[in-house]
Structure 1
């Protein structure tokens, strides 16, 4: 399978400080599932920022969807970002919008008809167990509920690449497993998934996934992170 992500000798530093990431070279196949692990301070969030185009590298080459993003003109960035779903560790929900409108946002930006949006958003909120909370604003939701809204927003448009930073950090183990099941379902439709996590138990739930481990800004065993597999049908089991 063709690679959806390619890093070649990538380094990242902020300002004039030491490199946060050094000499990263790897590729990820379309439709693959990866966990990103490593100790605190290893550079996981910085690597994710490169993947969802919040940061450009200090050196090296990055290709996403077959294009060099280091030299990509800024006016093309918005269209590229629409192909990427992001689950932020701090949620980044829009506080004055309801759960429904937060989840609907990517579809509205893409110009989807409101009738289609209503069907998709209501199904997704039911999928993550928040069908009765559609009108609630973020401030009235628990941390775990906000996390589920953020995840629903990230996956609603079925992105080609999903990047998730500690997506299960604010939910109980049962809900963590259910959310991981949602990521697996999206992956089986062809989305490439990268989940940064400290929870080693999550790794056991997706035995076919590969692990990208960072240690002090460098890859540990870069040869072992490429996986190619075939998309499978989406299981139709909603979260309760």
Structure 2
């Protein structure tokens, strides 16, 4: 499979403090499924922010869809971001839009005609169990319901890369399994999935998935050995 993401000796520093991420190198294959694990504060969310272009690295190189993301002018980034679906830990729904319109937003931004939007949006709302809440606005939804709307919005346009930060953290185990099946179905259609999670039960449900772990700002394998120690390829 072709590679869709390539990190080469990437470092990230906020302000003048110590590096949050150090010497991070890895490659993600197109169509792969990856779980990202690690303790709170290890650097998982920072790594995801680099993946979906919310943050630029302090050093190193990030290749995305065959482009050198760090060398691209800012005007080129929105088009690249539209190829990425993101499930944020804090949802980031548009509060004045209904659940339906939040899910439809990526399709409208992509220029899909209105007549072609209704069926996929209603199908997605049915999948996440919120058909009856289509007209509700985010402030009236529970945390779990907002999470499901955020997931529906992230996957509605079948992105090439899906980045999900603890996407099942606010739902019950039955719904978590259902959402994982949704991610797996998207993966089978060719989407590369990167999912940060603490839930070891979910990790065991996708036997073909790869597991990456972040520990103190470095990427390590499940046994704790550095995948790419400094000075090695």
* TM bin (shorter chain): over 0.9
What is the CA deviation profile of residues 24-59 of structure 1, one whole-angstrom value per residue up to 9, with x for unaligned ones? 111000000000000111100000000000000000
Instruction: Map 1:82-93; keep pairs closer than 5 Å.
Output: 82-93=82-93
Which residue of structure 1 lines up, in the alignment, with residue 79 of structure 2?
79
Segment of structure 1 superposing worse, 134-143 or 149-158: 134-143
Residue 183 of structure 1 deviates from its aligned partner by 0.3
Q: Is the Cα–Cα contact under 8 Å of residues 219 and 227 in structure 2 kept in the other structure?
A: no
C-alpha distance in structure 1 between counterparts of 2:75 and 2:162, whole Å: 22
Aligned Cα RMSD in Å? Answer: 1.0
Instruction: Map 1:9-48; keep pairs closer than 5 Å.
Output: 9-48=9-48
C-alpha distance in structure 2 between counterparts of 1:132 and 1:185, whole Å: 24
What is the CA deviation profile of residues 90-118 of structure 1, one whole-angstrom value per residue up to 9, with x for unaligned ones? 00000000000000000000000101111
C-alpha distance in structure 2 between counterparts of 1:153 and 1:6, whole Å: 26
Which residue of structure 2 lines up, in the alignment, with residue 116 of structure 1?
116
Extract unaligned runs of 5+ from structure 1.
225-240
Residue 140 of structure 1 deviates from its aligned partner by 1.2
2:211 pairs with 1:211:
yes
C-alpha distance in structure 1 between counterparts of 2:220 and 2:78, whole Å: 32
> Which of structure 1's runs of 4+ aligned residues deviate more than 2 A?
221-224
Which residue of structure 2 lines up, in the alignment, with residue 96 of structure 1?
96
C-alpha distance in structure 1 between counterparts of 2:112 and 2:219, whole Å: 40
C-alpha distance in structure 2 between counterparts of 1:47 and 1:29, whole Å: 17
C-alpha distance in structure 2 between counterparts of 1:223 and 1:51, whole Å: 18
Which residue of structure 2 lines up, in the alignment, with residue 183 of structure 1?
183
Residue 197 of structure 1 deviates from its aligned partner by 0.6
Count of residue pairs brought into register by the alignment: 224
Residue 223 of structure 1 deviates from its aligned partner by 4.9
Which residue of structure 2 lines up, in the alignment, with residue 220 of structure 1?
220
TM-score by length of 2: 0.94
Residue 212 of structure 1 deviates from its aligned partner by 0.7
What is the CA deviation profile of residues 196-215 of structure 1, one whole-angstrom value per residue up to 9, with x for unaligned ones? 01111111111110101000
TM-score by length of 1: 0.92
3-state SS of paired residue (1:70): helix
C-alpha distance in structure 1 between counterparts of 2:181 and 2:120, whole Å: 18
